[in-house]
């Protein structure tokens, strides 16, 4: 057993184990953290396949950004464990049935006759001089340029739509635009008014003779 194979089995075991934990943990935060672990170890498996760009992007995008926001939401949820645990036996037959159907379907599609070594022989090893990040970029931005552009436009539309749907002007919000704050002048805030004295009998006060403690002499 080579060192690489050993590493493969270690990471594959952790991936399977943590994926199992994702669905069996009661605490949703723990489940999300196990999902993160599954992502990280899958990235390690991809790096073993010399797909280091994909592996690192998986960590960067899914672990570094998507799952952080996911964790953020899950932590804020007030999940009632008692409701989640109730009626477990009630749903068990239906759940088992759906699981069996899905597992069979996956097995039929991804079985060894379709994806075995006969259908997909192991690719020849390329020399270490080939920069596969560069190769990936070249084929993405030449051969597959239209799919890439279309996918990015769809994502942009989705972003704009999501922001538009959730944006609401809240009347209780006291937000002040920082540029308005910066550009404010003295004259916008205070007005100095000069006016004549209203009371013509008013005597100008004598020279202030109070001491510091406020007592008049």
Partner 1 sequence: MIELWNALPLVIQILLKIVIIVLPLLGLVAYYTYAERKVIGYIQVRIGPNRVGWRGWLQPIADAVKLMMKEIIIPTKSDKKLFLMAPMIAIAPALAAWAVFPFSEDFVLADINAGLLYVLAMTSLGVYGIIIAGWSSNSKYALLGAMRSAAQIVAYEIAMGFALVGVLIAAGSLNLGDIVTAQAGSVLTWFWLPLLPLFGVYLISGVAETNRAPFDVAEGESEIVAGFHVEYSGMAFAIFFLAEYANMILVSALTALMFTGGWLSPLPQDWVDGIPILDDGFHWLLIKTFFFMFLFLWFRATFPRYRYDQIMRLGWKVFIPITIVWILVVAIAVIYRLPPWWSA
Sites of contact with partner 1 (CB under 8 A): 1-3, 6, 29-30, 33, 36, 52-53, 56-57, 59-60, 63-65, 68-69, 71-72, 75-76, 131-134, 175, 178
Place of tokens 């645990």: 85
DSSP annotation of 118: T
Our CB check for partner 1 shows the closer of 60 and 79 to be 60
Give the shortest CB-69-to-partner 1 separation in angstroms. Answer: 7
Give the shortest CB-18-to-partner 1 separation in angstroms. Answer: 14
Q: Are 35 and 22 in contact (CB under 8 A)?
A: yes
Q: How far apart are alpha carbons 34 and 65 in whole angstroms? A: 16
Instruction: Quote the crossing angle between the two packed helices 28-48 and 3-24, to the nearest 10°.
Output: 160
Sequence-separated (6 or more) residues with CB below 8 Å from residue 34: 18, 19, 21, 22, 25
Give the shortest CB-189-to-partner 1 separation in angstroms. Answer: 20
Our CB check for partner 1 shows the closer of 98 and 130 to be 130
Our CB check for partner 1 shows the closer of 3 and 120 to be 3
Our CB check for partner 1 shows the closer of 19 and 50 to be 50
Give the shortest CB-60-to-partner 1 separation in angstroms. Answer: 4
Our CB check for partner 1 shows the closer of 77 and 192 to be 77
Q: Are 15 and 48 in contact (CB under 8 A)?
A: no
Give the shortest CB-209-to-partner 1 separation in angstroms. Answer: 42
DSSP string, 70-107: HHHHHHH----HHHHHTTHHHHHHHHHHHHHHHHHHHH
């Amino acid at each position: 057993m080579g060192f690489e194979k050993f590493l493969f089995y270690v990471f594959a075991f952790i991936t399977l184990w943590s994926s199992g934990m994702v669905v069996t943990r009661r605490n949703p935060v723990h489940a999300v953290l196990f999902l993160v672990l599954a992502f990280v170890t899958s990235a390690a498996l991809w790096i073993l396949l010399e797909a280091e760009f994909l592996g690192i992007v998986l960590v960067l995008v899914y672990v570094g950004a998507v799952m952080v926001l996911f964790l953020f939401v899950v932590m804020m949820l007030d999940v009632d464990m008692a409701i989640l645990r109730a009626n477990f036996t009630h749903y068990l037959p239906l759940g088992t049935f759906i699981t069996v159907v899905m597992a069979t379907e996956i097995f039929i599609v991804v079985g060894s006759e379709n994806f075995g070594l006969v259908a997909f022989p192991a690719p020849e090893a390329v020399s270490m001089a080939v920069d596969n990040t560069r190769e990936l970029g070249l084929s993405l931005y030449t051969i597959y340029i239209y799919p890439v552009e279309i996918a990015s436009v769809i994502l942009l539309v989705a972003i704009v739509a999501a922001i538009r749907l959730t944006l609401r002007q809240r009347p209780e919000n006291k937000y002040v635009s920082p540029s308005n704050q910066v550009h404010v002048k003295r004259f916008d805030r205070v007005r100095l008014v000069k006016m004549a004295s209203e009371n013509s009998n008013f005597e100008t006060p004598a020279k202030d003779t109070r001491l510091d403690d406020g007592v008049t002499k």
